[in-house]
Structure 1
Amino acid sequence: MNPYPEQGPLEEENDDLPVGEVLSRRRALSLFGLAGGTLLGGSVLAASKRPPGGPPAWTQAGQNSAPKTVKSLPGCVVRPAEIEGPYFVEEKLMRRDMRPDSKTGKARPGVPLTLNFEVSRVTLASCEPRAGVMIDLWQCDAAGVYSDSVDTGFSTKGQDFLRATQLTDAAGKASFTTIYPGWYHGRAVHIHLKVRTMQNGKASGEFTSQLYFPEAVTDAVHKQARYSTKGQRDTRNAADQFYKNGGSQMVLALKGDETRGFTATFDIGLNIG
């Protein structure tokens, strides 16, 4: 059921090919200068495609605290890069609360979600906070609709709900207030993430990926009135073509419930730029 009949039928996102490569354990250790060392918890590493002249962005799953030994990778290391998709717009909306349209002030309804990011530079022994890193988030609303986009039969051109940009503070932190996303045909529930290091007002490095959600939590949230009018989603994580490219490492660890809302913290170790 289309909750926006005046906009016409909804259409699936026409994503591109996956970005980045999953590295073997030996290859990852070699590139990170840890030949002969060990990884914590059998973690999977990946490197995004590097910008011209720049080093790769490193990824690791399942680590939330710094290691005790130099031969282990720190817990702040980022996860796999994924496709940007067609709905990114350079809005540069510097704000924490990304729910409203900036022109009308009307917020998109949905289960509240607070996303906290901690961005660091990774060394062999620690995670050093990175200030002034630009983080962009964009997502669909409870009905699966993106702002500032034109699809067959409907348009939200000129609107900017559920989009926001922030710069990390001196502690490398940034926090966003949004809603739990809805779904659209052919994709698992997700939020898009772009992280850029800045130099003289221009991007000097970039990491782009997508954040995913635990299936049981999504099932509970999508029973809520605003979400349920769309019907049952047709693509779960395991069936999503982009989730298969390391998406299990991008699943948010959520605290809260579908009544009060959720909070999640996501660490990003960025050695680009």
Structure 2
Amino acid sequence: MTPSQSRRDFLATLAVSPFVTLGTGVFAPPVQAQAAAAGLIGANACILTPQVTEGPYYIDPHLVRQDITEGRPGVPMRLRLQVVTADCQPIEGARADVWHCDAAGNYSGFARQGSDQQISTKGETFLRGTQFSDATGIAEFATIYPGWYRGRTTHIHYKVFLEETNVLTGQIFFPDALSAYLFQSVAPYNERGGTRDTVNATDGIAQEAGDTAFAAIREQPDYYDAALVVGVSPEARPQEQGFGGMRPPGPPPGRLPERSGAAEPTVPGRNG
């Protein structure tokens, strides 16, 4: 079976299958298997991803890098975005920018961070970076599982640029059960004060984004694997910023750098 035939079969299966359930990116196993056969990293594929708000914390530090952690503590996570067209064809050379808060709920590069707005991270660039999609449409980042701050559920921001005037702005969401476990039981997430006040069902942006914005999560020995297929429309337009003058800098992203750590059992990359 050719990749094109697999993609056609996947589209046909998706059209008659139950869609995402429970707001966690969970698809029926046959749909997941068909997505994998079509060369896709998630079953939320081939559905154009809706634009959502950029939020107040986007900056472009011009950092083309796969590892965006800068030593920030947290549970290691490999984040993969696969950029495709509406008919499941991968898009090579798309620019993907990602940014998110750390385990304590702070973004880099801004004053008045955290739920108490008492921390300044001006001049810092942790948990921000750019990659370009490879021949399979995948842009890959090494990061940590994001934390939380008041008024929002756990999420990661991204922008996908095809060209100066074709930009998709989105957010990625995660299963509440996993977030709750990490925030209650695993350092450094459980070392902060306060109680998380917003979950997926009560976050307006998560509801607006819909089920296609939930990452597929797999536990690996040393990290969580978070994957999302991003369907880009030729009509997508930028909200605020353009391509930034950046172009693919050479070969596609490499493998996730090896990491090590020590902490609670059952958490990837950590020992009891």
Q: Give the corresponding residue for 1:234.
A: 197
- Native 8 Å contact 2:26 2:216 kept in 1: no
| 1:138 matches 2:99 | yes
| 1:167 matches 2:167 | no
Instruction: Give 1:75's match in structure 2, choosing from 28, 37, 45.
Output: 45
Q: Give the corresponding residue for 1:217.
A: 178
Evaluate the alpha carbon distance shift between residue 255 and residue 61 of structure 1 in structure 2; reply closer, same or farther with a 3 A threshold: closer
Q: Give the corresponding residue for 1:206.
A: 167
- Native 8 Å contact 1:136 1:165 kept in 2: yes
Q: Give the corresponding residue for 2:223.
A: 261
Deviation at 1:76, TM superposition (A): 2.8
AA partner of residue 186 (structure 2) = Q
Q: Give the corresponding residue for 2:248.
A: none
More displaced 10-residue stretch of structure 1: 159-168 or 261-270: 261-270
CA distance in 2, matches of 1:183, 1:154: 15
- Native 8 Å contact 1:67 1:75 kept in 2: no
Instruction: Give 1:250's match in structure 2, choosing from 213, 219, 227.
Output: 213
Task: Please show how residues 7-18 of structure 1 align to structure 2 within 5 Å.
Answer: none
AA partner of residue 268 (structure 1) = V
TM-score of the superposition, structure 1-length normalised? 0.67
CA distance in 2, matches of 1:255, 1:99: 20
Q: Give the corresponding residue for 1:93.
A: 63
- Native 8 Å contact 1:61 1:79 kept in 2: no
CA distance in 1, matches of 2:48, 2:37: 15
Q: Give the corresponding residue for 1:108.
A: 72
Pairs aligned (count): 203
CA distance in 1, matches of 2:19, 2:179: 25
CA distance in 1, matches of 2:136, 2:161: 16
CA distance in 2, matches of 1:253, 1:172: 17
CA distance in 1, matches of 2:139, 2:174: 20
| 1:40 matches 2:40 | no
Deviation at 1:42, TM superposition (A): 5.3
1:126-165 Cα distance to aligned partner (Å, 9 max, x none): x222111010100000000000012253311110000011
- Native 8 Å contact 2:48 2:233 kept in 1: no
AA partner of residue 191 (structure 2) = T
- Native 8 Å contact 2:92 2:134 kept in 1: yes
AA partner of residue 55 (structure 2) = G
Higher share of residues assigned helix: 2
Identity %: 38
AA partner of residue 245 (structure 1) = E
Deviation at 1:237, TM superposition (A): 1.0
Moved over 3 A (4+): 60-64
Evaluate the alpha carbon distance shift between residue 61 and residue 82 of structure 1 in structure 2; reply closer, same or farther with a 3 A threshold: farther
AA partner of residue 208 (structure 1) = T
CA distance in 1, matches of 2:207, 2:138: 29
Q: Give the corresponding residue for 2:270.
A: none
Deviation at 1:174, TM superposition (A): 1.3
- Native 8 Å contact 2:48 2:86 kept in 1: no
Evaluate the alpha carbon distance shift between residue 165 and residue 182 of structure 1 in structure 2; reply closer, same or farther with a 3 A threshold: same
**Partner-residue secondary structure (3-state), 1:244:** helix
Deviation at 1:246, TM superposition (A): 3.1
- Native 8 Å contact 2:77 2:225 kept in 1: yes
Deviation at 1:256, TM superposition (A): 0.7
1:39-66 Cα distance to aligned partner (Å, 9 max, x none): 333559xxxxxxxxxxxxxxx9956528
Q: Give the corresponding residue for 1:271.
A: 233
CA distance in 2, matches of 1:161, 1:66: 32
- Native 8 Å contact 1:197 1:205 kept in 2: yes
Unaligned runs of 5+ residues in structure 2 are 1-13, 39-43, 236-272
- Native 8 Å contact 1:66 1:76 kept in 2: no
CA distance in 2, matches of 1:128, 1:154: 43
